[in-house]
Chains A and B, each alone.
Chain A
Amino acid sequence: MVNFREYKIGARFFGIALGGSMCITLFLPSFDFRNVNATEVALDKQLWAGWESGFNLDDPWLRGDHRPLRVTLKVDPKTGQPMEATTAYVYPAGTRMPNGVDHPDILGAMVQQLSLDKGRISEANESQGAVFLLSSEPQGDGTKQFYIEDASATKGWTPDAVLKAAGDENTYHAAYGKAIFVREGCWWCHTLLPEETQDWQVFGAPPMLGDFNGESPTAFGSDRKAPDILHVGSRNSSREWMMMHFFNPRLVQPYSIMPRFDYLWGKVDAKGQTIDYDKWRSEYNEYVEGQRVTPPEVPMYASNSDARALIDFVLSLK
């Protein structure tokens, strides 16, 4: 064995160089990230998206299991009295709590304190499930400070009662939809990041430093082959359009290169009838060749289908 001594200096320099660069690129930025207070956008997003939208042990195949739901309440779930429309985030029993509830310190000092003191989020737990609200506290300077409120603790709302009070038509499977967004690789074409230069004029405001606390994965996307969809729900809120576009984008946009996502409809439609894809496709081909005047009708998706969840998700991107 040849003596290694002459390389000891080299090895030490190597350690210093690599360690130094890691210090600058990993350690120092962590201070900036840690001091950010979560904005309203970040709180809303983590509450509807839940703990994790990518691979996780609760839903390894990203099929939408154990996901929270976003609902619009028009009646009080306890008394049944009509009330002002309110957004609530429902975590049925067995659903992992959102990141800010699991680890309040990621919310930033101010939001953490309000969420713990006024929002009582430390009382929320996975085994019983919880209902959250996005609440705010007026500040001295006229602005509002948002925080997470655990309505199961402060108001005694249970997940089941809230879901029942809202009804299926006011329930949005946005978290399930985001999991599909990740699974189906929409982010290889669409970004979720209007750039800070020009393109926000078309795609809407670029996000800010505090808009991401608790989100995972952020799935910004890097090569854009399609419009940015961070704010697509504000440009286009038509369910009909989305339905046709996902089933076959070329129904509404003949030059689109977006893939067909008709398989997200599953086997049956809303009425429980089997969807005959072969027939649909051959009729569509006839339409493309000019042998039919109108394209075949797009089947209505079943309420528990992937397609419904995906559209709920896309329309929640305001």
Chain B
Amino acid sequence: MLKYLFAKNEDIPDGAAAVYFGFSAITWFVIGTGLGAFNASKLAFPDFVTGLEFVSFGHMRQVHVHAVIIGWISMAFAMAMMYMTPALGNTKLWSEKLGVWNALLWNVGLSLGLTLLWAGMTSGREYSDFPWFIDLYVVFLVVMPLGINVWKTIIHRKTQGIYTTNWFFASAVFMVGVVFLVGNLPEYFHLTGLTEAYLTWWFAHNVLGLWITPVAAAIAYYTIPKVSGNPLYSHRIGHLHFWSVVVFYSTPAAHHLMSAPLPEWLKSFASVEGVLILVPAVAFVSNILLTMQGKWNMFVENLEIRFTVTACLMAIPLNMQGGFQQTRAINWYIHGTGWIVAHAHLALLGFSTFAEVAAVYLGLQTLMKRKLYSLTLGNLHFWFLLIGFTTYWVSMTIAGLIQGAGKIYEVPYIDVVMAEHPYMIARWIGGSLVFTGNCVWLYNMWMTARAGTVVPEGRMPHELAYER
């Protein structure tokens, strides 16, 4: 890959940037989930590895979160953008060279940021933990080059219309840049007090709502029609989804601070807007599931479809939680408990990750023109992820309900800690399964690159029979 950094753009083969992004994303996924499993073990067994600053929970938690969000999730998004945007515009990526540089700078910046976080250099603001110069790096050296490539490719497309996926891509890279700039204003200009607290959660909410959720959905809008061969069920519903994301998803930031002394009008507003998140959610889920009409056999037979549809099915409980857990009636019970951690992982490790895994499988096979090395390992990956995630989610949800009960019935806190202990162990086991599955995946993709069956020109990988 590195040899392309100084090559002429024309000399770089199509898809080089996407492949670079794809393998980086998988590697960060392995690292991130490994760190997650390590953190989980520390919450189950506090003396597991102890007495060193660099392995303490407080130093490692944010490293896990940023490795999975900015490493895995976002690099997989970039990978998808690098190959879906040109494919949907019937053209080439605007600049492969920019793409390769983008991937390199991304890896370098992220490694630097994580090292600093690990060492304790933090802004102390959840999700925007990076010190401000890393935030600026992200905006100008990570998001901007990606955006330029996506926008330019769309402008140079050879189709008349722009497909749903590309509306989402084009607007989401723009919005995530804005979110990084505005959400970190407290650090650039040293805003303090409630303004700082509110902007911290404004950032957190909008990174999830205007970047992760819409892009993951956009990916599903590509994968399902492409692999199943069915056209998207409805572009109108796609419109509804897009516009309701922009209007409703960008407003309820204050619902993360329902028990803080924010102005009451703001909390009530956020609470109502939060319910309206159900509009894009229902539009998305119904659109994808209806596109599957007549092709449900592929849910069993095809790995990419299975991952994407599972993602879509997980979006149902996810959005039911998301739509209602900020209402005052429910929030007072679950706020600040493991329930929220379970919800966060349902969104990221469930819905979003599953959609992306499919996109990475599909993209790497198509671009490298190699069929997946081993379907058995692919299936193993799926079940490890699904069982591991489900164990995680169920155990943390139960732990959260216990904590909620402990909170409102004023149980001495240590009794809550003791009651949660078995669920902490279960979460750790679930997380370790996910991590193991990912190691298998990295191996499988590596072997695909080296030894996968060659896919002939003009064919899709899934049209070939498995030989192994």
Contacts and interface: CB of A to CB of B under 8 A. Distances in A.
A138 interface: no
B340 interface: yes
A220 to B, nearest CB: 6
Given A198-B410, A199-B407, A222-B336, A216 B250 contact: no
Contacts of B121: 55, 60-62
Contacts of A51: 190
Interface stretch (A17-25, A73-81, A163-171): A17-25
Nearest to B128: A217
A17 B338 CA distance: 34
A42 B261 CA distance: 13
B46 to A, nearest CB: 5
A185 B52 CA distance: 14
A53 B340 CA distance: 27
Interface in B414-428: 414, 417-418, 421, 424
Contact of B126 (A32, A214, A222, A253): A222
Given A2-B158, A54-B122, A106-B192, A21 B251 contact: yes
Contacts of B109: none
B464 interface: no
B162 A195 contact: no
B171 interface: yes
A111 B69 CA distance: 42
A187 interface: yes
Contact of B332 (A195, A249, A258): A195
Contacts of B202: 25-26
Contact of A184 (B51, B59, B159): B59
For chain A, which range describes its interface: under 10, 10 to 19, 20 to 34, or 35 or more residues?
Answer: 35 or more
Contacts of B197: 212, 217-218, 220
Nearest to A31: B263
Interface stretch (A115-123, A140-148, A152-160, A203-211): A203-211
B413 A226 contact: yes
Interface string A18-62: 101110111011101100100000100010000111110000111
Interface stretch (A83-91, A237-245, A259-267, A297-305): A259-267
Contacts of B160: 2
Interface string A56-72: 00001110000000000
Interface string B241-261: 001001100110110110111
A257 B39 CA distance: 12
Given A60-B121, A212-B193, A281-B51, A222 B256 contact: yes
Contact of B192 (A61, A99, A193, A206): A99
A299 B61 CA distance: 29
Given A195-B259, A217-B196, A18 B246 contact: yes
B50 A260 contact: yes
Contacts of A1: 155-156
Interface string A214-251: 11111111111111000000000000000000000110
Contacts of B192: 46, 99, 106, 212-216
B417 A226 contact: yes
Contacts of A224: 336-337, 403
B317 interface: no
A19 to B, nearest CB: 10
A257 B417 contact: yes
A277 interface: yes
Q: Which of B42, B50, B269, B421 has the most CB of A within 10 A?
A: B50
Given A216-B186, A222-B336, A21 B247 contact: yes
Nearest to B132: A55
A75 B145 CA distance: 62
B224 interface: no
Contacts of B171: 14
A93 interface: no
B124 A256 contact: no
Nearest to A184: B58
A221 B58 CA distance: 12
B398 interface: no
Contact of A197 (B57, B156, B332): B332
Nearest to A20: B247
Contact of B254 (A25, A261, A262): A25
Contacts of B256: 222
Contact of B196 (A62, A216, A249, A253): A216
Contacts of B158: 2
A317 interface: no
Interface string B387-414: 0000000000000000100011010011
A187 B336 CA distance: 12
Contacts of A260: 46-47, 50-51
A14 B175 CA distance: 11
A125 to B, nearest CB: 18
A214 B193 contact: yes
Nearest to A186: B58
Given A24-B269, A53-B124, A61-B120, A255 B336 contact: no
A18 B175 contact: yes
A223 B43 contact: no
A308 to B, nearest CB: 17
Given A185-B58, A223-B337, A197 B43 contact: no
A186 to B, nearest CB: 6
Interface in B11-61: 42-44, 46-47, 50-53, 56-59, 61
Nearest to A257: B46
Contacts of B337: 223-224
Q: Which of A106, A183, A226 has the most CB of B within 10 A?
A: A183
Contact of B335 (A26, A195, A215, A226): A195
A71 to B, nearest CB: 24
A21 B337 CA distance: 29
B198 interface: yes
Nearest to B39: A188
B410 A55 contact: no
A211 B122 contact: no
Contact of A209 (B58, B59, B261): B261
11 contacts: A2-B160, A7-B162, A26-B202, A29-B254, A29-B262, A53-B124, A193-B259, A202-B410, A221-B336, A225-B417, A257-B417
The 4 A-B residue pairs whose C-beta atoms are closest, nearest first, are A185-B58, A54-B124, A217-B124, A195-B259
Given A2-B155, A259-B56, 11 more contacts: A21-B246, A22-B250, A61-B121, A195-B335, A197-B259, A209-B194, A217-B123, A217-B200, A226-B413, A257-B44, A259-B46
